[in-house]
């Protein structure tokens, strides 16, 4: 059984159809790069996976749970599905440690000492263990984004969703965040990421999904699909982003 399964998903904002019958399955351990023009439905797709956006048609299933079922406990589901946005959303008045330990202590009832150890472990994964007592305003954008990733990892999710997490960063900081994602990929984390970093998608993603006009227009193995697009729409998109 797939870890994530979208079947004929429809999402509308008023008269505007943002997702138009999207079907997509993600297996455990896969890394899916979602690419496409602005407004093609990429970010909305991610937000439907963890129930941040209600859908108007179709079904979204995660690990056998129907996300859009009114009876589903979304708070519980989101402990299994981490999401990191382009804005870091760290609490500025809390230290890095407390930003990371807040959810494990409040949601999972972990004691503070164990939570601090956990914070150290996940910060080590993103190369920032020495910043455990720092506050977000003392960190660069790239460091804040890595703390946001560590905060998600602290909940031991089965799936990580990344929404354009490098787009707000200066070019020299992008590499340090992508390196963390590469290491997570090597550890076997299942990921869905909306990205415009084509080199990274080619190198790390197992599959590329090209969204166009609210539909999955084309998908396939990353290196092959990006090198030899089958549709003129993907070809046009790639020539625009790669030049």
pLDDT digits (tens, 9 = 90+) for 194-204: 998 898 899 88
Q: How far apart are CA 230 and CA 113, in angstroms?
A: 54
Residue 100 belongs to domain spanning: 4-242
How many whole angstroms separate alpha carbon 235 and alpha carbon 23?
22
Q: Over pLDDT 90: what percentage of the chain?
A: 77
Task: Estimate the share of the chain in helix, then strand, then coil, as percent rounded to the nearest 5.
Answer: 40, 25, 35
What distance, in Å, lies between the first and last C-alpha atoms of the chain?
40
Q: How far apart are CA 122 and CA 222, in angstroms?
A: 28
Question: Do 78 and 29 form a contact (C-beta atoms < 8 A)?
Answer: no
Give tens-digit pLDDT for 60-94.
Answer: 999 999 999 999 999 899 989 999 988 878 999 99
Separation of alpha carbons 230 and 218, rounded Å: 8
User: How far apart are alpha carbons 237 and 53 in whole angstroms?
Assistant: 27
* CA atoms 98, 102, 104, 108: torsion sign: positive
Report in angstroms the alpha-carbon separations of 95 from 177, 191, 198, 213. 20, 27, 34, 42
pTM of the entire structure? 0.93
> 38: domain CATH number?
3.40.50.300
Six-digit token string for 55: 């859908």
- Residue 243's pLDDT band, with cuts at 50, 70 and 90, is low
> What's residue 132's pLDDT?
96
Residues 157 and 79: beta-carbon distance below 8 Å = yes
Report the chain's mean pLDDT, rounded to a whole number.
93
Q: What's the domain count of the chain? A: 1
Q: Token digits for 179? A: 């390196």
* Local structure of residue 138 (DSSP, 8 states): G
From the DSSP assignment, how many helices (H) and strands (E) are in the chain?
A: 9, 10
DSSP 50-79: TTSS--SEEEEEETTEETT-TTS-HHHHHH
Q: pLDDT tens for residues 33-69?
A: 999 999 999 999 999 999 999 999 999 999 999 999 9
């Amino acid at each position: 059984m797939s870890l994530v399964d979208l079947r004929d998903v429809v999402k509308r904002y008023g008269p505007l159809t943002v997702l138009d019958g999207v079907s997509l399955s993600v297996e455990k351990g896969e890394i899916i790069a979602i690419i496409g023009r602005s407004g093609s439905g990429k970010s909305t797709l991610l937000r439907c996976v963890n129930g941040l956006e209600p859908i108007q048609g179709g079904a979204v299933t995660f690990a056998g749970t129907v996300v859009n079922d009114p009876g589903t406990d979304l708070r519980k589901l989101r402990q299994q599905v981490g999401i990191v946005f382009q804005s870091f959303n760290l609490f500025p008045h809390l230290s890095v440690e407390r930003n990371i330990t807040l959810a494990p202590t409040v949601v999972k009832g972990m004691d503070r000492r164990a939570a601090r150890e956990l914070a150290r472990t996940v910060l080590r994964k993103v190369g920032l263990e020495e910043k455990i007592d720092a506050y977000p305003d003392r960190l660069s954008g790239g460091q804040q984004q890595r703390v946001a990733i560590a905060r998600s990892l602290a909940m031991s999710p089965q799936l990580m969703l990344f929404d354009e997490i490098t787009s707000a960063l200066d070019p020299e900081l992008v590499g340090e965040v992508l390196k963390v994602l590469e290491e997570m990929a090597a550890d076997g984390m299942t990921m869905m990421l909306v990205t415009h970093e084509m080199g990274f998608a080619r190198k790390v993603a197992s599959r590329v999904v090209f969204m166009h006009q609210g539909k999955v227009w084309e998908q396939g193995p990353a290196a092959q699909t990006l090198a030899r697009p089958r549709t003129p729409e993907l070809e046009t998109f790639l020539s625009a982003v790669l030049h």
